[in-house]
Structure 1
Amino acid sequence: MSGVGGDITPRSAVVVGAGVVGLSTAWFLQDRGVQVTVVDRGEVGSGASWGNAGWVAPGLSLPLTSPHVLGEGLRGLLDPRAPLRLSRRPDPRLWSFLLRFAAHCTTRHWRRALEASLPLLVEALPAYDTLSGAGVEVGARESAIVAGFTDPRAAAGFRRELALVAAVGVPVSSADLDRAELHAARPQLSGRIVAGVRVDGQRFLDPARLVDRLAQAVVRRGATIRSRMAVSSLRSDRGRVIACAAEGPPVGADVAVLATGAHLGDLARRGGVRLPVRAGRGYSFTVPTDAPVPGPIYLPGARVALTPHEGGLRVAGTMEFRAADRPPDVARADAVVASVRDLLAGVRWDERSSPWVGARPVTPDALPLVGATGRPGVYVAGGHGMWGVTLGPVTGRLLAEQITTGKQPPELVPFDPLR
């Protein structure tokens, strides 16, 4: 490290986790002159970043702790097809987490969490623009997201929620769509969809391509990426942080950033981070369509996001609280299909791809963990729930600022990992 006027600026960093959040943090650290090594327990982008819906949608990136989630959770105990699926197996840690999560499912906390997230939501798209302006081919396309409803009353409730979001200051605009406008905008919607809302100014991308391009960008800038290095511990040695794995040589640097998604708690606890992170697993698969899909579709009643992908439609949905590394449960993908089959037309469901499952990192208060831990030189970046793609670049920019200046940006105060 180098000291200038009493400030200590790191010259090197090891970033543990090669998803959108970790690679974005690596890129912005490089932008501030830090030499970076990125390590990952699997391959680049093999975690929750790879197969999600790929929405960059600050207007819809809302806290998970909304009051109606409690009702969905109770339904998930009884109905395996419910959007939120809870295991009935005895798991004291999981049930302790869920009780804490449930305690935050109030209107008051939801609004406070939204207000806390406002600076990140405002800067989410500009952070992507920074990457694009520097030559990173993020592949984001601007598009409205069209939400469809079988009941006009549900559409009215969705509009009220968007009005609350806009009143807080989140940059979101929307418009009602009548039946003709709705089906002209998204021909894949079936006749059962009778009301719609267009959410403007959002974007979508291929998340696997984004991660690949970010990895290429940091390597071009001099980074080393080590795949299949499962970091098991961190130790300190003469002011440096050493990331150690069961196999292979350790990696040392002035600072370490833990961006390991749903596995964040494993190492972060040793730095005094007590807030747990659990895997809220989401499923996706791709289906062919008879006609091109013009843009993203949201079906709030089923909690399913649909995105144009490789000439077809990527279908992403469900929230399943199970161990992060468990294999996909085909029944969960079948439940997603059952929830939306009659809401869509011209979709060849019998030709869908094998299901993919990704472990979204969820915290009990629905706020990310971003910043310094109680261990010198160790930082964390994670816990974004379903919004890692939307908030990854802005998280990386703000955390790189904190690491290189030694000062916590005010935008990150609500996300202090030691809260």
Structure 2
Amino acid sequence: MGKNVLIIGGGIVGLCSAYFLHKEGHQVTILDKSDITSGASFVNAGYITPSHIIPLASPGMIVKGIKWMFSPTSPFYMKPRWDMDFFRWSWYFHKSSTKEKVAHAIPLIKEINLMSRELFAAIKNTGDLGDFQLERKGLLMLYKTEEEGEHELEVAEKASFLGMEVSSLDKKALNKLQPNLTMDVKGAVHYECDGHTTPTEFMEKMLDYLKRNGVIIKTNEEVTDIVTDNGRITKVISEKTEYSPEEIVLAAGSWSEKLSKKMKLKLPIQAGKGYSINVPRPTGITIPAILMEAKVAVTPMKQFTRFAGTMEFSGINDIINKERVEAIAKAVKEFYPEIEINTEEIAKAKSGLRPVSPDGLPYIGKSSTLENLTIATGHAMMGWSLGPVTGQLVSEIISDKKTSMDIIGFSPNRKF
């Protein structure tokens, strides 16, 4: 018999959780403080990336972060501020950035990404959402320097060892693969295992499907309190009403830590802000790419090309840092000399906040202290890629089924 489930958060993870829970016969309500038309799930690069096997918390990242702290245009930026939660998270991040912990994370990231890639295809094959962009052209890691190329080739060797399709391309092979496009690079690593989508299209179609099939969507309604009693959540109180569901899914992205405190839980998360610029004119780009030295993502989407990038830790806010947006535009020109992002396109740049856990792995699983709470957040840069698989795992947990993979490594109760 289906359960009454309340999902807090209407991003890709919340919507996919609703999709699979509805398929299992549960009654589902989604509660979101926004109108579900903006944020990280709408402005991301749209990558489905089994190739992204190295978590953000890796050796050397804290040193880079400190070095880049004094450059507001750097790809990885930590804004200096007095914030005990940020200090605590930074210490956990440092503790997680070891070779041993990265080695432990790699197979987990690979398995969950491959599962999610197949689920994107499965959702498309059902016809539930109608047609939407889902392409498998791979991902090009474009590099300008030998140092960056050698570093990426080391990652490629690990990916190849794990069975993923990857190849190294010199300039000639790259030009053959991506013709009629001038690129100022030395070469590329091509992860043929990756795919891409248009996030705005997928989100709109998924929302429409859920509404048509009885999932209740409550927008512009912020959670103000969560009442617990005897190891259970008894009430979720919003600005407008109260809810008493049997099961609750916390999928509130970067706001999850704030909400977790209302339940006396420790869920370390920092908001990692990213920016994106859409160029709605021909660019000649047909294959997604990452501009290695600049850490800028490039995606040919439906009717436009998206240029996205940066990881900015400056707290929860929607401030657009013009310097960082202009740094993305400058990087595009450096890698693609014939493409110039104009001032109007730059002015329309958008931002989104990605929920980043200290070790770069998502939180997926039951709370150890509240028996009717399932947590699904903290996906960092893999949120889009892992949306479907997280939704399926959440559905399996709430339906009391054996999960499709071992999720102990993603436990929200893990210690740092």
User: What is the TM-score of this pair, normalised by structure 1?
Assistant: 0.91
From 174, 199, 203, give the equivalent of 1:211.
203
1:333 maps to 2:328: no
What code does the residue aligned with 1:308 have?
Answer: P
Q: Which residue of the partner structure matches residue 65 of structure 2?
A: 73
Alpha-carbon distance between aligned partners in 1 of 2:388 and 2:358, rounded to the nearest angstrom:
23
Moved more, 20-29 or 120-129: 120-129
Deviation at 1:175, TM superposition (A): 1.3
Q: Which residue of the partner structure matches residue 106 of structure 1?
A: 98
- In structure 2, stretches of 5+ residues that fail to align are none
1:392 maps to 2:387: yes
Alpha-carbon distance between aligned partners in 2 of 1:410 and 1:156, rounded to the nearest angstrom:
33
Does the Cα contact within 8 Å between 1:177 and 1:196 map onto a contact in 2? yes
Q: Aligned Cα RMSD in Å?
A: 2.2
From 78, 93, 99, give the equivalent of 2:85.
93
- In structure 1, stretches of 5+ residues that fail to align are 3-9
Does the Cα contact within 8 Å between 1:272 and 1:418 map onto a contact in 2? no
Moved more, 154-163 or 297-306: 154-163
Residues 20-169 of structure 1 correspond to what in structure 2 (within 5 A)?
Answer: 20-135=12-127, 136-137=129-130, 138-167=132-161, 169=162
Deviation at 1:98, TM superposition (A): 1.4
Q: Which residue of the partner structure matches residue 5 of structure 1?
A: none
Aligned identity (percent) is: 26
Helix, strand or coil: the match of 2:355?
strand
Change (3 A) 1:206 1:121: same
What code does the residue aligned with 2:133 have?
Answer: G
Alpha-carbon distance between aligned partners in 1 of 2:226 and 2:34, rounded to the nearest angstrom:
18
Does the Cα contact within 8 Å between 1:152 and 1:195 map onto a contact in 2? no
Change (3 A) 1:191 1:212: closer
User: What is the TM-score of this pair, normalised by structure 2?
Assistant: 0.91
Helix, strand or coil: the match of 2:65?
helix
Helix, strand or coil: the match of 1:234?
strand
Residues 135-284 of structure 1 correspond to what in structure 2 (within 5 A)?
Answer: 135=127, 136-137=129-130, 138-167=132-161, 169=162, 171-187=163-179, 190-235=182-227, 241-246=234-239, 248-271=240-263, 273-284=265-276
Deviation at 1:123, TM superposition (A): 0.8
Aligned residue pairs total 408
Deviations 1:229-282 (A, max 9, x none): 111222359987432112x12233211111100001122234453131110111
Alpha-carbon distance between aligned partners in 1 of 2:322 and 2:357, rounded to the nearest angstrom:
26
From 355, 362, 366, give the equivalent of 2:360.
366
Change (3 A) 1:191 1:400: closer
Change (3 A) 1:278 1:291: closer
What code does the residue aligned with 2:274 have?
Answer: G
Does the Cα contact within 8 Å between 1:324 and 1:359 map onto a contact in 2? yes
Change (3 A) 1:240 1:321: closer
Deviation at 1:291, TM superposition (A): 3.9
